[in-house]
Chains A and B, each alone.
Chain A
């Protein structure tokens, strides 16, 4: 039999029909929805007298624009309330299960789907959100789609797609101490550029990847889209299986041993051929922070803010010039020279319990710098409840951090009341540092949870080893 990559195994087993030479009709095992990007799909369903084919393979949550302090805030905000209401109405009309703000189980789509046991090896999963790539950590083929495709999945439980290309990024050796999968993701994006992965599914492999926890793998797959990739994916190993066993157990679901055997087949065959191969030495990866306005504009602590002259490519030169202006930085500055006034810990990239534990470990016995407002938003009610059970909330409170009780995207996309003001500068554990992403004319430095915590304490971009 022909050797296959993991991606091809999933694609081929989900191909309902080949259409013409290039397009395939692909079956979708799981469809996630949220309040933004979906109302137009339901409107069109009604207009065309169609219905939702498989509400039992569809789930919705409220996350993007929702408040993080109190449910009552939503009531008083007309625009956001209307978006959430539309989702509630559409879900009830079409019998789609929905997690409403504050209900047990609610949270960011990409945090709750794995908690619910909805992401399984060898399956396909889509959502109207580009960071759907997160779920590739479970050896699932997961990618973001637009509103019209949401309508297509709702009506047919399939998608028409051209087969992606495959790329393998092998990370050998181990990451140095304090270097997280976020640093690895930023380094890979820096290497590939924001467009390097366009049209590809990136499979992450190698010893450094195998030693990552599931949370860390989700962070890495989450950021794949920042290199332009359609999806990120990691083959099944014992870490995957242990994690899923725990999920099944805590959800009271039974798990057949033959299922686990089937899951184990979701790895690339050893002689499978990829369209592109990249090998990275994990030991060379350093703690990294973005200085610019796209996630490839990243440097380590031993480097200096670059100048336009450091780039040969004219378009990168131009991008650097614009980014330096927007970020109000001077070439040659060190990261340590950059003072900040906001820190955000959260998002589908780093809003999981492991991230909160790391942050609490650093804040314990220390205080947030008086000039810094540090906001910590759990990715789900489960993350929040675990954090409280473990006493992390008390650590946060004592250190002077602002721990929120309602989960959601919050400062990641600046769609709720937590958005930043003009001229504010953050270290943020989210995934995008685009102009205006966290608020109009606000400046964002993307980094790992440990850098975020260390920076909150010193008031300037810092590492734990600097404390």
Chain B
């Protein structure tokens, strides 16, 4: 199976506007590494034993199903790293914070948008049967689950990048000639940081 098809169990995070400060509170963002943040995911909320992360019925979940405006707020990439480290491969939401969305793509965490109705049906399905599998078909842009389907919405070029597993920096460095040309034509009046000023 290629990267255009993914399947797994879901976990319903029945909430809108989950900001990145909730996904990983700032005080947990001190490890200078990309890995090792799974234990910090929802650091404050998981103090509550009834929080969905502790529900054994969802312990095998690899797909997080959240509401709308998921992961707005701080630019911290820790939010993506923590979700991935915890074991999620996909986040389905009605909409995402801009920076998180981009961070997720770069880090190979698949951010999928779907409709409000789709989210609610997924929440219902996961509530009724926590072990019902979710099938994501990127090629046909559809999410299939017990009792329904919903569109899998993803920007086209992100989709391609995800399916082909492409790395941004290597791609950009192929265009280094264009960057050289652009730079050569930049105005000499633009600011540089070489003469930093000791403003008093």
Contacts and interface: CB of A to CB of B under 8 A. Distances in A.
Contact of B190 (A80, A97, A123, A144): A123
Most buried by A among B32, B33, B157: B32
Contacts of A436: 21-22, 25, 44
Interface stretch (A50-58, A344-352, A369-377): A50-58
Interface stretch (A22-30, A272-280, A358-366, A452-460): A22-30
A172 interface: no
A294 B69 CA distance: 12
A16 B175 contact: yes
Interface in B150-200: 155-157, 168-169, 171-173, 175-176, 178-179, 182-183, 186-187, 189-200
A48 B156 CA distance: 28
Interface string A101-122: 0011100000010011111100
Interface in A253-280: 253, 256, 259, 262
A294 B15 CA distance: 14
Contacts of A253: 195, 197
Interface in A404-427: 413-415, 419
A98 to B, nearest CB: 9
Main secondary structure of the interface of B (DSSP, over half): loop
A187 interface: no
B144 interface: no
Given A160-B172, A432-B21, A115 B199 contact: yes
A146 B200 contact: no
Contacts of B76: 36-37, 146
Contacts of A144: 75, 99
B163 to A, nearest CB: 14
B73 A130 contact: yes
B19 interface: yes
A134 interface: no
A17 B178 contact: yes
A21 B182 contact: no
B135 interface: no
B199 A59 contact: no
Interface in B6-48: 15-17, 19, 21-22, 25-27, 29-30, 32-34, 44
Interface residues of A, number: 91
Contacts of B197: 105, 115-117, 251-253
A237 interface: no
Interface stretch (B82-90, B101-109, B126-134): B101-109
B8 to A, nearest CB: 24
Interface stretch (A175-183, A191-199, A302-310): A191-199
B175 A198 contact: no
A212 interface: no
Interface in A284-312: 294
Interface residues of B, number: 64
A43 B198 CA distance: 30
Given A17-B178, A20-B157, A256 B26 contact: no
A435 interface: yes
B98 A381 contact: no
B74 A294 contact: no
Contact of B34 (A40, A80, A149, A250): A40
Contact of B106 (A105, A146, A380): A146
A222 interface: no
A158 interface: yes
B63 interface: no
A16 B187 CA distance: 15
Interface pairs A-B: 6 shortest CB-CB: A39-B32, A146-B103, A195-B69, A147-B77, A315-B16, A148-B106
Interface of B: 15-17, 19, 21-22, 25-27, 29-30, 32-34, 44, 67-69, 72-78, 80, 95-100, 102-103, 106-107, 155-157, 168-169, 171-173, 175-176, 178-179, 182-183, 186-187, 189-200
Given A25-B172, A152-B168, 15 more contacts: A17-B178, A19-B157, A25-B175, A99-B196, A104-B200, A105-B198, A123-B190, A129-B75, A146-B106, A157-B183, A195-B17, A252-B197, A380-B199, A435-B22, A437-B26
Interface of A: 16-17, 19-23, 25, 27, 29-30, 36-37, 39-40, 43, 48, 50, 53, 55-59, 79-80, 82-83, 86, 96-97, 99, 103-105, 112, 115-120, 123, 128-130, 144-149, 151-152, 155-158, 160, 162, 194-195, 198-199, 228, 230, 250-253, 256, 259, 262, 294, 315, 318-319, 380-382, 385, 413-415, 419, 432, 434-437, 440
